[in-house]
Structure 1
Amino acid sequence: MPKEQPTVLLHLPHPAMLDATAASLGDLPSAAAGSFVEAGHAVSSSREILHLTRVFQERGWRCLWAPFSEVEPACLRHRGVYDAATGTRSELTADGLNAEVDVVVARLLGSVESRIRTVREYFETLREQFTGTVVNDPVSVLYGLRKDYLFEYLKRDFRTIPTESFEPSVTFRELSRACGGRLDDHIVKPVTGELSNSFMAMSQVDDRVLRHKEPLVGGWLLQPFVPHVWDGEYQVFFVGDRIVHGMRKHYPGRDRSGVPTRAGRVVDPYTPTAADTAFAREARALWTEDLAKPTDLCRVDFLKEPDGTPVLLEFEAVNPGFSFGRLDEPAGRRLAGWFEDHIRRRMVHG
């Protein structure tokens, strides 16, 4: 059973974000729900930590923050750990982590593509050495670090974009042959990519690009480009088995040449239809039941065919952003509360 004052450790990517978030803890910035137009850079995730910390503290938790860039994954040494209640900093070894921390919420890790070996080693060590609860479950994260899972969905005739896989050393000629020379009609993305990193049209690729990326990616996926994506990329978010909200990304006024990019993309809150909800639940059930990968926090990404039929883009169980920064204050607190509810159940029932 959880102790009277359990302790949760929350990650931020690096010390600078931790410092900025700590400076905002006493005065949570306001945010209005509605459309959000993305720039060409990542949106700060500190609002998630602020909401979680506020709600967890109100419910009796001690909250520690740790910059992931300061972690030594092989020995679970966490440097620069910040206590949100006292403002003090300390260091935790593996023994200290097990003695003091009940739950590690291993999210907001920064770019997974650029540090995939570190992320993999961290979750492997947590699985082997940490005696508390990890969110997301290491079994699910370690499996989801590569998008090979798409082939499991395809094998089961789940509605998914046709996909071919290639080794990191693949040549442009081999990729071109595989897509029949139709470079504008196909895209490539890394097996280990996220946040659209290294997502490119085949017409943007050559051997120089492939060789530059070779040490950074675990392989390449080749897919036909589906033009419906211009009309919207849809996301349904889960905390445990609860659907908590939806988002839609679209590209109003954009020249629809090439492939979509983050610049100018509009992100709207979205209420999933009954068909969207059923599709997302089927995608999650395949992951948790057929593939036996337990997941705490996940996101189902899909597009829609002209008749409204959903088609899976990705199942994100490694580091799904929950769009806290695009929710108003009540919605952010409600979502943080659902996080806490789920984590309490995990602590009791595993």
Structure 2
Amino acid sequence: MPRLALVTAIAAAALDDDLVPLLDACARAGIVTQIRAWDDPTVTWSRFDAVLLRSPWDYTERLGEFLDWCAHVSTRSRLLNPLPVVRWNTDKHYLAALAERSVPVVATCFVEPDMDPLPTLQAFLAEHPQASEFVVKPAVGAGSRDAQRYSRDQEFAAANHIARLLDAERSAMLQPYLASVDRDGETALMFFDGRFSHAIRKGPLLQRDERPTEHLFAAEEITARIPGQDELALAGRVLAAAAECLHLQSPLTYARVDLIRDDDGSPRLLELELCEPSLFFVHAPGSADRFAALMADTLRGVSAT
């Protein structure tokens, strides 16, 4: 029988709501599935026909080590999604690459470790006079960890937040906080093998005057959602542009496209999750079985080569 490793982090395994439904679905699909921590040195990864990144959510604190591990595993098994995709997607500078391909992305300014935080922030605010609030977050991050929402009169506090990230040799991001998030939340669209599976609504995560969460990720308010046709169309554009950036010849095993609406109601890309996204199986009956069927097909293809 085909063998599949579901990769997590020790601190994250109990927080990954996808694991149990995926384990059950894989069992129904005839796949031998085991949960393993990515940094467990005792694991022999070549024993698995494929290695699926699920919730290795501590990689943001040691990205270089995680990418070295991904490269190691790629020589011994089939990493899903593959190494070039993981390298590209673990750093949100990919948003700039997508914007260059005319994807409507939430306006983003990157602040690099050699830049001066306060003048850069002031320039960003001058470029976006309509933004009454804005967000500071790291370019390499998971969930809402180290992210915070600020009003325009909090620029010194925000500049200190940026400086803390830069002092740790982490790039920071500035984005306007779109008011639609408080009203409509985010729409996350899940794609399996390039085909739309289901969508959910995320409630607003960042509250006014709330410090960044110190947990692995903040608690989320999740409900099922039927996406609009404009959201489906944009998600397709996003995936096509990503395929161009990465020179992909076939659809990705999984992708999650996170969208929010601009002030004029148009959807914009907030994040594209191709590395370790939650897929919210519990909010879409049958979705775990659809994904397990894809895994079974993938593993049969691995066995045939």
Band the TM-score falls in, shorter-chain normalisation: 0.7 to 0.9
**Equivalent position of 2:254 in the other structure:** 297
Q: Deviations over 1:236-271 (max 9, x none)?
A: 0111112111011235xx997458988785321011
Q: Distance in 2 between matches of 1:180 and 1:60?
A: 54
Please tell me whether the aligned partners of residues 57 and 276 of structure 2 are also in contact (alpha carbons under 8 angstroms): no
Once the two structures are superposed, the pairs formed by residues 28-177 of structure 1 within 5 Å of their partners are 44-45=15-16, 47-70=17-40, 77=41, 79=42, 91-92=43-44, 97-98=45-46, 100-127=47-74, 129-130=75-76, 132-177=77-122
Moved more, 292-301 or 188-197: 292-301
Distance 1:342 1:273, change over 3 A: farther
Structure 2 segments unaligned to the other structure (5+ residues): none
CA distance in 1, matches of 2:263, 2:164: 37
Amino acid at match of 1:6: P
With normalisation by structure 2, the TM-score equals 0.81
Indicate if the aligned counterparts of 1:179 and 1:186 stay in contact, CA closer than 8 A. Answer: no
- Taking the aligned partners of 2:206 and 2:269, their CA distance within structure 1 comes to 24
Cα pair 1:171 1:207 within 8 Å, conserved: no
Q: Work out the CA distance in 2 between the residues paired with 1:65 and 1:307.
A: 44
Over the matched positions of the two proteins, sequence identity in percent amounts to: 20
Partner of 1:33: none
Query: Any gaps of 5 or more consecutive residues in structure 1?
Result: 21-43, 71-76, 80-90
**Structure-2 change in CA distance of 1:194 and 1:295 (3 Å):** same
Contact residue 9 and residue 55 of structure 2 kept, 8 A: yes
Deviation at 1:200, TM superposition (A): 2.1
Cα 1:316–1:215, aligned 2, differ >3 Å: closer, same or farther? farther
Q: Does 1:242 align with 2:195?
A: yes
SS at match of 1:214: helix
Distance verdict in 2 for CA 1:345–1:297, change over 3 Å? farther
The equivalent residue for 1:31 is none
Residues 312-327 of structure 1: pairs in structure 2 closer than 5 A: 312-324=269-281, 326-327=282-283
Pick from 186, 205, 210: which aligns with 1:233?
186
- The CA deviation string for residues 52-79 of structure 1, in whole angstroms up to 9 with x for no partner, is 2223233332222212342xxxxxx3x3
Q: Cα–Cα, structure 1 residues 346 and 151, in superposed 2: closer, same or farther, change >3 Å?
A: farther
1:197 and 2:145 equivalent? yes
CA contact (8 A) 2:136 2:161 kept: no
User: Any conservation in 2 of the 1:247–1:269 contact (CA below 8 Å)?
Assistant: yes
Q: Give, in angstroms, the shift of residue 211 of structure 1.
A: 4.3
Structure 1 215/295 Cα, relative in aligned 2: closer, same or farther at 3 Å? farther
Given the superposition, is the C-alpha separation of residues 208 and 295 from structure 1 closer, same or farther in structure 2, using an over 3 Å criterion? same
Structure 2 CA distance for aligned equivalents of residues 314 and 12 of structure 1: 21
1:287 aligns with 2:266: no
User: Secondary structure of the equivalent of 1:315?
Assistant: strand
Q: What is the number of residues matched between the two proteins? A: 291
RMSD: 3.2
Decide whether aligned partners of structure 1 residues 255 and 296 sit closer, same or farther in structure 2, where only a CA change above 3 A counts: closer
Q: 1:118 to 1:259 in 2, by over 3 A?
A: same
On the 8 A contact 1:126/1:138 being kept in 2, the answer is no
Counterpart for residue 209 of structure 1? 161
